[in-house]
Structure 1
């Protein structure tokens, strides 16, 4: 028994060392430096005061952008997942599955570069709108601002969310779906009243992961967000690269950690309540 325990520890040791060395140790060090006063004058909140004085609007902007992008990602992924499992069009499903796999293999930095061309004033997106008569060259405007950031986030993250949520939907027992169809229920009603309640835990987990992922991206806001305010990942990079101000950068990092932790805490609290209802 003891030999098996040592073998198990030896097997997980490399992964544990990597997690501790590359994630936990830098995290603890970053939190520690965030509370160190400038010039090493002790422990205090000076870095946080300076961070909110300089970038308070950016913190609010980040929360709004990531929240809106997460909500739109949920809407797109749930709609597409439901369509893929409820649609009877073989070729339509095949095309959509192929299209939604593409963003999975494209890193965020490439997405940002693609969107700089796609969402420019006379880029492909506006050119398509001009072709169908929605816009004219005089009324066209570029989307290289907060709209472009949200568009890029949703396009990239919806593929991952659709893969996870659609997979959970596809694994459901189809007897209830077929029964609802036989009773004349529409696809929308089946999706809202039968499918979604059974995969709501998967949806919640996927949205938490999507929120955290979009919160940590630097390339998209730095390449598409040409105006102020901007996201705090850009502010952190600016403080380090331009001023070597690690204190304020780490303070902003702690703020982003609190944002991510609050979303995870909300999900865990909701999951705990659901379990209490189920077993209570």
Structure 2
């Protein structure tokens, strides 16, 4: 029996791991660690599915906001700048004094109008005064509830949130019946020989109504923040000889800084764009811009000018919201830093 012995070159190829016949070796699939690592795990697949489910749930409300808020806002902004085609064609044809062609002519005309400037100053003045009174009253109620409590604190807190459950229309009419020439205050003053001023259909009545409608939210925000202040801080300040005023000014209010900013910002925005209270209780001139916007759109048939007024109000509201956003970002940054420090 004979045995074939491969020649020298064949032996060399076999030593290198190649085929002795000179043909390329058959590749073999090797399941390495890289292949196993590239496969998604069960947890990764679940996380990916949850992300897609979350996006699907968020897509519907986002789409509604974009279609029914975002698109009209952009379209209105273009209309105020002179774009009168497309969806704005009907308003441009029906409305009077329409400016066509991209420009800031509408805004220039408004800012050069003495009547509009008077109403703008009145709006900003009422907003500033109403916001100051609202925040001051809310802080007073919250401090009394935090430091004293008892029947007085609970009664004030309940009375402060009562306007939350009273419709604005009814509240406006009630304020008017209290402050006009034949109202309760004048009648009560007449019983004692006092000549009480007539505040109905004046900006004073608008301030009363704005404070009434804005106070509940401010009280809830500030009182909640002060109630969350640790008792140890208050007691430590008192043990160190701090007066009640110093405890409020240097302990309680700094701890409620973010809620104070939030309450102030939302009060400013609410009063700036208010319509019902100034419409029912305010004078014919000067008027708040919320009433002006309605008059220019309906009574004067000048939709382009009313749209420009709305964006001017929006600009002031956006400027006020900067403080809210800044305070919120700083508060969130402090919370994240605190969590990082607590981690081992």
Deviations 1:151-185 (A, max 9, x none): 11112211110111100110111111122334453
Question: Are the counterparts in 2 of residues 122 and 140 from structure 1 also a CA contact under 8 Å?
Answer: no
Question: Are the counterparts in 2 of residues 116 and 224 from structure 1 also a CA contact under 8 Å?
Answer: yes
Unaligned 5+ residue runs, structure 2?
Answer: 1-46, 84-96, 338-344
Higher relative contact order (Cα pairs below 8 Å, separated by 6+ residues): 1
- Which residue in 2 is equivalent to 1:194? 251
| Post-superposition offset of 1:124 | 2.4
- Which residue in 1 is equivalent to 2:224? 167
Cα RMSD after superposing both structures: 2.5
- Which residue in 2 is equivalent to 1:106? 166
| Post-superposition offset of 1:75 | 0.8
Alignment of 1:1-280 (within 5 A): 1-36=47-82, 38-39=97-98, 41-52=100-111, 53=113, 54-88=115-149, 90-130=150-190, 133=192, 136=194, 139-144=195-200, 145-269=202-326
- TM score, norm. by length of structure 2: 0.73
Distance in 2 (alpha carbons) for counterparts of 1:18 and 1:210: 27
Distance in 2 (alpha carbons) for counterparts of 1:110 and 1:25: 34
| Post-superposition offset of 1:226 | 1.8
Unaligned 5+ residue runs, structure 1?
Answer: none
More helix by share: 1
Question: Are the counterparts in 2 of residues 70 and 210 from structure 1 also a CA contact under 8 Å?
Answer: yes
Distance in 2 (alpha carbons) for counterparts of 1:191 and 1:35: 49
- Segment drifting more, 259-268 vs 188-197: 259-268
Distance in 1 (alpha carbons) for counterparts of 2:316 and 2:99: 27
| Post-superposition offset of 1:46 | 2.2
Bigger Rg, structure 1 or 2: 2
| Post-superposition offset of 1:204 | 0.6
Count of residues paired in the alignment: 274
Deviations 1:103-124 (A, max 9, x none): 1122322221121112222322
Deviations 1:36-79 (A, max 9, x none): 17546211122213323141111111111101111111111111
Distance in 1 (alpha carbons) for counterparts of 2:255 and 2:188: 39
